[in-house]
Amino acid sequence: MSSPAHRYDPRADRRWLLLRPWMLISRLVVLLSQLLGLTLVLVLQSGSRDPKVQQRLGKRIFTTLTSLGPCFIKLGQALSTRPDLVRRDWLDELTKLQDSLPPFPHAIALQTIEAELGAPVEQLFEEFPDYPVAAASLGQVYRAKPVGGTWVAVKVQRPNLTEQLRRDMVLIRLLGVTLAPLLPLNLGFGLGEIIDEFGRSLFEEIDYRREADNAERFGRLFANNPAVIVPRVDRSLSAQRVITTTWINGTKLQQRQELEAQQLDPASLIRTGVISGLQQLLEFGYFHADPHPGNLFALPGRTGALGHLAYVDFGMMDSISDSDRLTLTGAVVHLINRDFQALAQDFVDLGFLNANTDLAPIVPALEEVLGGALGDNVGSFNFKAITDRFSELMYAYPFRVPARFALIIRAVVSQEGLALRLDPSFRIIRVAYPYVARRLLAGDTAEMREKLLEVLFDSEGRLQLQRLESLLAVVENDESSVVGAELLPVAGAGLKLLLGQEGRSLRQRLLLTLVRDDRLNTDDLRGLFELLGRTFAPQRMARRLRDQLLTRLNPLAA
């Protein structure tokens, strides 16, 4: 039966490996020889323009990472989602690391199932194949049919995984900490902290009982969202090293041509992935930290502008605190509003800058790096340009990456890399900002109402009409919806907020703008009414309502 799950403990694991010098030395020799050999080949041949040479290099990277085992395969998986960092020649090979790895022997899988579930496979399943449909870094998946049930996915863990991970994490941490001073990194703290975060999440990932809990929690969060599908866990056929869920019959989000061949719209699927990712980070505070193409499946159908997307594999999940959620939401707004002073403070609040840091020289640097990438409108925002320039900023100023953000950054980077793979012209902010703008204007939670007040009024209580106009314009011109259609529900929610109990603070702030500096001041309110009059003029609203109704009756008209 199942043994207690091992928890990541770098000190205890180091002592454990030091007591096994034969294991330590032999593995260290293998790692150094393989990695140094790969590095030498890449240095000598990566500049070649011969496609066959680059293809061979991609296969060499795949073979090396595969032979080194789960920890290094996970690194390759992360790189496989970054078409902006990895050559296209190598990307196809790295993508195979997601679920096209060599399987382990079928007989061992059957032994694991019997040991974990307490009965042989033939007693539990009407149909169980002799070969898995997919093999990944930590386990392999079978499409099976339980006795009296429907088709399910049965994931069985690789043998001796705990021992391999303990050994390799000790060595990776040793090499990382030793080589950190020689690497072109400016993290502001030890590389060991990032490695420890990776190790912690990896050991949580190999306890399938925890994964079952994660899948059920994730499913509850999206229970009312028809665009996001989460497989159900069969607890009677799940344990520490085996997990069984409903079978997802979909198309992997790997190649645009494959999706289009199945008459699936890549743009609508990207939109669903990005919006659901934003919901996880900014609403739920609980997110899937490994959204690579092997863990996301496209399904037929659409809900409005959103394609139907299924998540699988819930081993790597994490939470984000309420304070970080609020700060990240505000940072998106501050970025678009070009409020770089507030954005610098966001970096302090999130821990990317020390609380005692002098922000005076950093604010103009942020404006130069981020403002230039933003351009004149939201659509020109280039996330890759920002990441390239921001790395330079980290050398010149005391930025650091807090360890708790390791998985958040991984999730966002994976999501953006997936979107870029399907659509190289994709801009994440085109989806992110309309989403945040709608939530702000609707004021559907206390935290959103607080952020709305922060956006609409300056430190002296003056109404900032240009910011409200910017929010309304972003919602109106949202590419992911019918032109202007989103303004109708936003207008209704805004009116409800203004007149309802939750809008008390907003009404008070508006009254304070009316009476300022001991005199009556109507300029701001007059400007507000003029803006609302232009935006929600009856003729314009009627035209938008007509467009929305026509689109619902005839989706091809969109």
Q: How far apart are alpha carbons 13 and 8 in whole angstroms?
A: 8
Q: Active-site positions?
A: 290
Paired strand residues for 297? 252, 310
Return the structure tokens found at 425: 């012209």
pTM of the model: 0.79
- Strand pairing report for 306-311 and 228-229: parallel
Return the structure tokens found at 83: 């078409």
Give residue limits of the domains in the chain. 322-401, 443-557
Return the structure tokens found at 44: 């000598």
Residue type for 112, please? Answer: T
Return the structure tokens found at 79: 């790189």
Q: How far apart are alpha carbons 540 and 544 in whole angstroms?
A: 6
Spans of the chain below 50 pLDDT: 184-189, 375-380, 482-485, 555-558
Return the structure tokens found at 104: 């382990």
- Convert the pLDDT of each residue in 169-183 to its tens digit: 999 888 888 876 665
How many CA atoms within 13 Å lie on the side-chain side of 191?
A: 15
Residue 446: Cβ-neighbour burial (10 angstroms; 0-12, 13-18, 19+): exposed
The answer to whether 493 and 444 are in contact (CB under 8 A) is yes
Q: Is the dihedral of CA 251, 256, 261, 264 positive or negative?
A: positive
Residue 209: Cβ-neighbour burial (10 angstroms; 0-12, 13-18, 19+): middle
Q: Is the dihedral of CA 430, 433, 439, 441 positive or negative?
A: negative
CA angle at 310 for the pair 258 and 447, rounded to the nearest 5°: 125
Contacts of 362 (CB under 8 A, 6+ apart): 344, 347, 353, 397
Residue showing tokens 């003056």: 462
The answer to whether 471 and 435 are in contact (CB under 8 A) is no
Paired strand residues for 515? 520
> Would you tell me the crossing angle of helices 428-442 and 322-336 to the nearest 10 degrees?
110
Residue 557: the pLDDT is 45
